[in-house]
Structure 1
Amino acid sequence: MGTSRNVERRTILKAAGASAAVLGLAATTGCGGDGGTSADGTVTIRYAWWGGEPRAIAIKKTIALFEKKFPKIKVKPEFTDYEAFWEKFQTQASGGNPPDVFQNAVGFLRKYDKRGVLMDLKSQADSGNLNLKNFRNGVLANGQVDGKQVGIPVGANTMSLVVDLKAFKKAGVAPEFGWTWDDYFAALQTIQDKLKIAGDTGYFSIMYLYDLYLRQHGKAFFTDTALGFTEDDLTQWWEDGYKRVKSGLVADPKKIEQVKPKSGLSAGLAASEFTWDNFSIRYEGEGESDYGLAPIPTTDGKDTGQYLGSLMLSAFSGTKHPKEVAQFIDFMVHDPEVGAIMGYDRGILATTEQYDAFTPTEATNKGVKAYEEKVAAEGVLGKITPHPSGADVIEAAFLRIGGEVAQGKTKPSDAAKTLFSEAKAAFAG
């Protein structure tokens, strides 16, 4: 809920493990940032985010707009890639000096709320400095932890299936809303038989996809404090996945590694790949085919288990400038001109003001908008699954261990035990 965003996503999942060595964070007092107040009353706040250069260029344009409207507030930008961002942030937070405002994601909310780093922004909303209205499809709830509003969504996205349109057409396969997992795997078999390529790049190491599958069965990947499934559940998921690797239905993981950072889908090694819908712009730039979004397979022909994820803005609880920080966040999530500048870089725009201000003209963005509108119209969107403290570490572990299963390095049952062991340590951190 990046620039070449699935590349960023893969980096995210692998790099998140860097935060496994949980640092003891110092108590956060009123020592926020190195921003201060000048003699003429001008306030400086620090704003940090991760992403590529196109995102940085766009955000700097929005900062200039903000500073024009609020001339007494200056914004110091800090940006880097995902891995470096969270390594730096953890160090800053442990020293009580994180940025005043920063880009955040659901996997980190409880982790840093638990350490007292995140401001509850409800107080600023009550003071009239931040508007918590006009958020689309209930996405504001993504930033809530234990009754506190610790994140404000800037964009929203949902899981999807990206398909090679030419391959699916050539194989005579037409995915539709309500198709089942059996239908999906039968379609992949048809593609393999007719086109002699794998159907999927490696679905079973994607934590968020497994979450949808669990939700279709009345469970979820996480509860508020633990994993929401059993070792047996995961063993079965990974056993089924490994069988499909051995049969060629899922692409050879060694070949997938060889083409990185290009995706196995855009490299022509497989005909489909599960990912967040707004990451789909990546494939048009990388591949030689045409790509589109297809529905998530279901268990019962209806429930996909989907929800809206999001990137969001959070504030440091110890900032010296809470009012100005809230005004900045409010501007960044509600101002129509900001929405027009940012477009869908961080997902479908979260507020109605910004959503209405941006009309996509590029085919991929049009497809993302149409896909999310269709998913919403189908009535399948539910509430986001809780993400306890440690979720970021577990996500990275799930990707890594799932990859070991795919390569035949670890038996599924042993892999499930390892995942549960690492999750226990992550929750305790």
Structure 2
Amino acid sequence: MRMTHAPGRVLAAVLLMTLAGCSGDPSPTGTGNQKVEIDVFWWGGEKRAELTEQALKLYTSRHPNVTFKNHWQGNQGYYDNLATEAAGPNGPDLFQIDDNYLTEYAERNVTLDLSPYVTSGALDLSKLPDSLAKYGQVGGRTVGVAGAENTPAMVYNRSLVKRLGVSEPSVGMTYEQLFEWATQITDRTDGAVAGTMDPSADYKALWLWLRAQGKELYAGKQMGFTAADLGAWFDMWKQARDSGAAPGAAVIKEANGGDVTKQLVATGRAATSFMWSNQLPELQRGTKDELALVSYPGDPKGQWARASMYWSVFRGTRYADTVVDVINFLVNDPEAGKILGTERGLSPNTDVRKVVGESLTDPTARATIAFENAITPRFGAAPAPPPKGHAKIRTLLTAAAESVQTGAKSPRQAADQFLNQANAVLAG
């Protein structure tokens, strides 16, 4: 595990800006038979490390001249350490990144432009859903390749629904229909279990709700919606709480942080949680009831094939051709896909995904793949990855939603304040 000390974010930003001032890109020359060591950096737990290292060992077995120096750590502090390392001449050749920071790193020229490799076919993205491939582009350049695909999913307690004699939620149901369904759950459990979690603090739920109306979360470096839109979103969930379809603020707050172990569908406080599809196995471990997946309410065209995380190449790498070939292997090789499984999400390559699915024995993992395969053809076009400041805006949205949930602010007051703060972040 990497033991680098994490600096402050201000220092990290300065170091990134220093890198952005550097000129020139590496010459993407091949290594031939030269022995090279590729430095790889990612975040995750021990299981992810074990599987990633196994896949990289498979690459080395086929290319004995290429070995890997593997570094990993938990999510906390990862980007501080990545910023520090990327600011020097010997940053990690290959690193993991997500859409909170992809645009920022691309705009600061930390990432190598992979477009020439895509054009030449050296990096084959033809088996990725089109919206997934495009979700790795910033300013028309491919700067990241999905390490896995993930899709928002409403996880619901199938066992509870059956015990109560309530129909299961369906793809394409409206929010109004969800609230009617949820009220039945609340009523039939005498309020012991709320029908649905309130995801008004969840940026992805808001984003998909906006997309169903032809709007986006972002419009370049501005928010893509009005205070009236956000006020309507907050008010819709206020009504759900007032009607009993969703629980009160104290219960909702338990899950707003995103901790899987505290999600209401697993703790038994609500019949649904708004999560990512690949989190089903972890959620299932928290309850003896059977959980199942359905898309978020609204037309599935509002959803898109999202990268759970990307592989990006450091612009200063001396081994660009080799590093790109490693990405191509991790994404497109069936044996690598079987090793990696669904730990990061589903294989981005739809052919590899089928192979992986056939090799799985865990019923919840198989259910995740079945859900993704069924819903992917109904996806809409991918938006641009979020702009710099996305992580801060997510925090602001949570604060705004919680101020409404507790009654500290009205929906419109919270919406006005959020828009002012968010647009200031994007303009900064």
The answer for unaligned runs of 5 or more in structure 2 is: 1-7
In the alignment, the residues of structure 2 paired with residue 212 and residue 313 of structure 1 have an alpha-carbon distance, to the nearest angstrom, of: 25
Q: How many residues are aligned here?
A: 404
Structure-1-length-normalised TM-score: 0.86
Instruction: Name the counterpart of 2:411.
Output: 412
Q: Trace 1:261-410 onto structure 2 (pairs within 5 A).
A: 261-298=261-298, 302-310=299-307, 311-358=309-356, 359=358, 360-377=360-377, 379-410=378-409
Correspondence 1:75-90 to 2 at 5 A: 75-90=68-83
Counterpart in the other structure of 1:200: 196
Give the direction of change, closer, same or farther, for the CA distance of 1:134–1:117 in structure 2 (3 Å limit).
same
Match of 1:250 in 2: 246
Find the aligned partners of 1:31 and 1:65 in 2 and give their Cα distance.
Answer: 33
- How big is the shift at 1:327? 1.6
* TM-aligned CA deviation for residue 21 of structure 1: 8.9
Which residue pairs with 1:15 in the alignment?
Answer: none
Closer, same or farther in 2 for the Cα pair 1:352/1:380, shift >3 Å?
Answer: closer
Aligned CA distance change for structure 1 residues 322 and 367 (closer, same or farther; 3 Å): same
The CA distance in 1 between the partners of 2:388 and 2:39, in whole Å, is 25
Report the AA paired with residue 157 of structure 1: N
Alpha carbons of structure 1 residues 127 and 217: separation in structure 2 relative to 1, 3 Å: closer
Q: CA deviation at 1:132?
A: 3.1
Taking a change above 3 Å as real, the CA distance of residues 19 and 411 of structure 1, as seen in their structure-2 partners, is farther
Partner deviation per Cα, 1:359-410 (whole Å, 9 max, x = no partner) = 2321111211221222134x34332354222222212322233233323344
**Does 2:154 align with 1:161?**
yes
Following TM superposition, by how much is the alpha carbon of 1:215 offset from its aligned partner in structure 2, in angstroms? 0.8
Correspondent of 1:49 among 38, 42, 53: 42
Amino acid at match of 2:73: T
Q: CA deviation at 1:211?
A: 0.8
Closer, same or farther: CA 187–127 of 1 in aligned 2, 3 Å: closer
Q: Distance in 2 between matches of 1:341 and 1:165?
A: 30
Q: Distance in 2 between matches of 1:186 and 1:21?
A: 50
CA shift, 1:426, in A, is 2.5
- Residues 61 and 21 (structure 1 numbering): CA distance in 2 closer, same or farther, change over 3 Å? same
> What is the alpha-carbon distance in structure 1 between the residues aligned to residue 376 and residue 253 of structure 2?
35
Match of 2:215 in 1: 219
Judge conservation of contact 1:222–1:386 (CA < 8 Å) in 2: no
- Secondary structure (helix, strand or coil) at the match of 1:425 reads helix
C-alpha separation between the residues in 1 aligned to 2:373 and 2:10?
37
Structure 1 contact 162–293 (Cα < 8 Å) conserved = yes
Deviation at 1:264, TM superposition (A): 1.7
Partner Cα distance (2:292, 2:235) in 1:
29
Q: Deviations over 1:311-331 (max 9, x none)?
A: 221111111221221121111
Letter in 2 for 1:397: L
Gaps spanning 5+ residues in structure 1: where?
Answer: 1-17
Q: Look up the SS of the partner of 1:361 in the other structure.
A: coil
- Work out whether 1:23 is the aligned partner of 2:19: no
**Offset, 1:256:** 4.8
Which letter does structure 2 place at the counterpart of 1:308?
A
For 1:170-206, what per-residue CA distance to the aligned partner results, in whole angstroms no more than 9, with x for missing partners? 3313222232211110001111111122112221111
Tell me by how many angstroms 1:137 deviates. 4.8
Measure the CA separation in 2 of the matches of 1:271 and 1:186.
Answer: 13
| Amino acid in structure 2 at the alignment position of 1:213 | W
Compute the displacement of 1:95 (Å): 4.4
Q: Secondary structure at the match of 1:275?
A: strand
Matches within 5 A, 1:120-139: 120-126=113-119, 129-139=122-132
1:191 has 2:189 as partner: no
Deviation at 1:116, TM superposition (A): 0.9
2:106 aligns with 113
TM-score (norm. length: structure 2): 0.86
Q: CA RMSD in A?
A: 2.7
**Match of residue 234 from structure 1:** 230
Match of 2:134 in 1: 141
1:114 is displaced (CA, Å) by 1.1
Q: Measure the CA separation in 1 of the matches of 2:208 and 2:233.
A: 13
Cα distance change, pair 419–91 in 1 and its aligned pair in 2 (3 A): farther
Single out whichever of 155-164 and 346-355 deviates more from structure 2.
346-355
The residue type paired with residue 215 of structure 1 is R
Cα deviation per residue 1:236-270 (whole Å; 9 max; x = unaligned)? 21123234334432223423555864322211100
Identity between Structure 1 and Structure 2 (%): 27
**Which secondary structure does the structure 2 equivalent of 1:349 belong to?**
coil
Amino acid of the structure 1 residue aligned with 2:45:
G
Residue identity in the other structure for 1:306: Q
Could you tell me how far 1:303 is from its partner in structure 2? Answer: 4.9
Structure 2 counterpart SS, 1:23: helix
